[in-house]
Amino acid sequence: MLNLIKNEYSKLFHKKSTYFFLAAIVLFIIGISVFTKFSCNNNDDIYYSSIDQELQYATSETDEYRDDAYIEELKLAKSLDYTMQDIYDNSRWESNALSDYYSYLSSINSFDKDGSSDLVNSNEDREHYQKLCDTIVSSLKDNDWKSYIQLTADSINNDGHTKDGAKLLKDTYENYLKNDIDPDSNAQKYSLISNFSQYDTSYSDLLSTKESGASYDETEFNTTESNYLIAKYQLENNTDSVIYKNPDPQMSSYEPYIYTGNAFLSLKRCINATIIIALILIILAGTTVSSEFSNGTIKFLLITPVKRYKIFWSKFITFLTYGFVLTLLSYVLSVLLTIIVFGTGELSTPLLIVKNGSIIASSGLLHILSNFFMTFGAIMITAIIAFMLSALFRNSAIAIAIPIMIYLGSDMAVSIAQMLSLDFVRYTIFANMSFSNIVENSFTFFGMTPIFSVSVIAIHIFLFLFIAHDAFTRRNV
């Protein structure tokens, strides 16, 4: 058997197409890494209107829609020679300062118009907000980020924050001051601090509602809790790069996991290289038997004392192990190129899972590796179909074309079947080819389980191999 497998590998590496596909995988992964590097560092294509255009639009609004605080924010930005991009660039402390300036001005305007407000209900409060505005203006004009950070740290209290959240925010801001860390030198973390403040406030409100026994939206609570715990983990562990399950249920089917680091975003995109592996294995499996019969080379194998079933299994094991090695090499190559392009700083990126109100952290690299091989699972099922068709027909085109259509179109076909309520489709291999669905326990048809899906896959693979084996051993030369 071992000699037969060696012979199959020898024939495989005598083909020029083998080296062409290997080169395609390498070039694809290199292209993904380089593209991600440049796309993450280039935001120049985003269009923003000018300050003057925005001012003209804002001042032309009627009193009902006019936002005087926003107009003052624009005027301040213009006096400092800022652009609209500077205003909306959340990775800069100046943008956050302008946002706070707008918020405090809105509170003052509310007080001036109504005489009272939920936020400002006394002259003392009005003076307090005016002082905050003046401090922000001064810090922006003098480019004094420390004054603004100190102002932000001093304004944090437990109102609107959990006790731990308020302490974490305050400690983080004060850490910037203590260590003389310019917020723009670690823009991602500074942006995370701002986001955490919002998550903390929302989570605190929903938690109070839940504990009081009042009605609340459970989906909203779970989403907010996940965002809060993940941001808290990042701040406590001083890490910018994490992978976590998308807490938004409406978007999780399209984007199951969020990647905050550029290196791991590149690794995630490299998984698409498996489509080339799929083509290689489908072509290999679809020609390995049929071409032997159509070219007449099967006679040279059959005149040897080797049993037919050994020839059959040697061919099967060859493309199975070849596909496994290709997938593993693609992963290793993706990691190496990511290190070359992005460095080693993100290699320790964790995968974060929120469970029962706490964070479970595991290896991000193992998560990517599992994604490579979950994709490989669907490829192997398709390749086995191609192998079966290759044993049934002399025409290799049939054995290649049909599996490719299955691989590319099965998801769409299953979705259409689900919309048409064709429940019987759940029992087909096409509805069970996604190994990620099995791991995540997320299926197209209601009531499907991992055990059910694995059982359907096992039955189909047994049938495919039984049919292929029977056809090969009975086939006339």
**Is the pLDDT at 121 greater than 60, yes or no?**
no
pLDDT value at position 434? Answer: 82
pLDDT value at position 239? Answer: 85
Query: Average pLDDT for residues 217-242, to the nearest whole number?
Result: 89
Query: Average pLDDT for residues 436-459, to the nearest whole number?
Result: 85
pTM of the predicted protein model: 0.72
* Token representation of residue 145: 């980020």
258: β partners: 244
Sheet with 257-259, strands from edge to edge, namely: 257-259, 243-245, 350-355, 358-363
Specify whether the CB–CB gap between 78 and 51 falls below 8 A.
yes
Specify whether the CB–CB gap between 382 and 282 falls below 8 A.
yes
445 or 26, which is more confident?
Answer: 26
Specify whether the CB–CB gap between 108 and 133 falls below 8 A.
yes
Q: Model confidence over 267-295: pLDDT tens digits?
A: 888 888 888 888 888 888 888 877 776 66
* Token representation of residue 244: 């976590």
194 or 83, which is more confident?
Answer: 83
- Farthest-apart Cα atoms in the chain, separation: 103
- Residue identified by tokens 């049909």 is 402
Query: Average pLDDT for residues 403-407, to the nearest whole number?
Result: 88
Q: What is the CA radius of gyration of the chain?
A: 30
Q: Model confidence over 338-386: pLDDT tens digits?
A: 888 888 888 889 999 988 888 999 999 999 888 888 888 888 999 999 9
pLDDT value at position 144? Answer: 93
Query: Average pLDDT for residues 427-449, to the nearest whole number?
Result: 82
pLDDT value at position 345? Answer: 81
CA distance 399 to 387: 7
**Is the pLDDT at 139 greater than 80, yes or no?**
yes
pLDDT value at position 120? Answer: 45
pLDDT value at position 113? Answer: 60
Mean pLDDT of all residues belonging to the chain? 84
**Is the pLDDT at 111 greater than 70, yes or no?**
no
Q: Model confidence over 67-110: pLDDT tens digits?
A: 889 999 999 999 999 988 888 876 788 988 999 899 889 888 87
**Is the pLDDT at 114 greater than 90, yes or no?**
no
Percent of the chain at pLDDT above 70? 91
Query: Average pLDDT for residues 36-56, to the nearest whole number?
Result: 73
350-355 and 243-245 beta bridge pairing: parallel
**Is the pLDDT at 196 greater than 90, yes or no?**
no
Residues 428, 431, 437, 441, Cα dihedral to 10°: -60
pLDDT band at 159 (very low <50, low <70, confident <90, very high): low
What are the residue ranges spanned by the domains of the chain? 2-40+266-474
Query: Average pLDDT for residues 307-319, to the nearest whole number?
Result: 84
